Structure 1
């Protein structure tokens, strides 16, 4: 049968790394293509790598239709859910996919709500017979479970199996990171936390750090973190003199009290000694 490859679907999910592709090729050559390729009509939805390898080596494969696809949005959502469930997908990729899912659902829900007709106005008294029948809802998809999902950052984090702070970092990387930094993150040259830190730098600095390699990216991230900590350290330093003065005042007061006690003891001893001398000089009666 004829199979149509759409570049937008093939590129919708990040491609396999060379090592992953070679491992898949070895598996197909050894065991054959056991999983059917998923189609929407004649359009290939899932299995682009397997299809290419099977075509390359003349390996047989099976196909299956997904009858639930009604639009390209359905196809995208299905592809996202499939990849969110795979353990080989990185944290960054899962976060990006979950954010894409939120955008699709938000757009679909807004469109469906805009197409829903307003409620019919009530007829005047006595005209009940002429009242129009209530309009049926345009689509139940507005209330479908997936349209109510991913409304918050916590929802996105659960869908992507991430923390809310990781979702924040991924959003920042998507908005501000230079493409070179994103590629370094995908290649594993920099951590998610470090990439988010570097993304706060001017774009040219990001590019220069990425071109310089892994160590320079780490150094750039470290400089950003240190710059963020500096104001806090300065605030602590500004408070330190007053705190030190308070400690010094307390120590000085304690020392003065000890000195007073010592002088009082010394004074008492001197009075006792003076009394003894006076007693020795006065003759007995």
Structure 2
């Protein structure tokens, strides 16, 4: 059982559960009607609202006709259907997904006798070409909401959408984890998506089946903390195709600096997005529980900080973990504060978040450097942007990523170079000891620098100085160890790698 939005998600596999209670016996004569009724009436005992799945493996109509036990050892198909659907009709707070594996035209004689209340959704499972023949009869079911569940589409070249005539509410793909993804199947998925868009039918891509199928190893939905988490990830071409049949809404987005971002939480007027929520390391579960206990007893004192977008929506930029605690504890009365910095991009906010962490927390050098290293991609991205604007004279200064990280963390550039080398070339054991503080950065670097395969990876990034005074400032801040003065730039070729890495270069004739 797991949470899905505001409702509990569960499976109500009547026959499967009954078989289990009977020790796996499938002989109708040995069924205990009392145990069956206990399973049948379970929804009456559920106090919370639920999304209830009649599992696709159950093959509801086929199984009921063949196996469902009725008192006195007789099979009465009509009564069997009416008993199960009566439970659904009598518990309207639950939403039932009746997933049908096969639906023959002859089954329609039974559906005409059933009352399909508005909380019942019927779905036709399509996992082979033969299932396409079931669509015509499935569309005649008198249920208010219908969907197509597509498990495997390699052999499905085309679904005739002209037949749907507004009778299909959405199409959902959940890739069969036992089937590999090929280029042809990927194109078929995209074609099905395009067909849905052309006919204005919501398209729901639920997941890749298993992570090996996912073409994007950096898919954020692979992270359990993501709102749309799927064990195999669910992004298709960088987008999340989600559809909630209860609210009839797709994945919610918010606009920030003219770009759309998927909303992770919406609570008390505040919104969070993954790009900010996950930018800094997420809190470990045991620490989260301690924080939760503390806030439960003492309340929330530090305000959650937000930035107001151009359309006056509040995006959280500090306090994501505390907000999650408030959501879990249903706390709505907590302090918030607007941050009115002049941000121009998402990266501006991310760098502000990083600097704010340094201000509000007492961090060790390794902790500061580990956090500052989070900005490496942003610094490199901005360096490339600067290169397109600046002339060649500024090129080397513009791409000094290590210097920028050093300035953020308040450490020397050589320390950043050593840290980077350890991260790239150190064993997991050495990296772990360094991060835990059991090894200093220089100590960890010394462990790896003598290895033959690593010695040729010394960072020779050059720091060009604009003046002698700037060089002295860098020395005082331990960014460089000294100043090398050259008459012309071509003399740099005579310097060693160590000199280039540890000293600032001042060119007299530029």
TM-score by length of 1: 0.47
Q: Point out the structure with the larger helix share.
A: 1
Q: Point out the structure with the larger strand share.
A: 2
TM-score by length of 2: 0.29
Q: Which has the larger radius of gyration?
A: 1
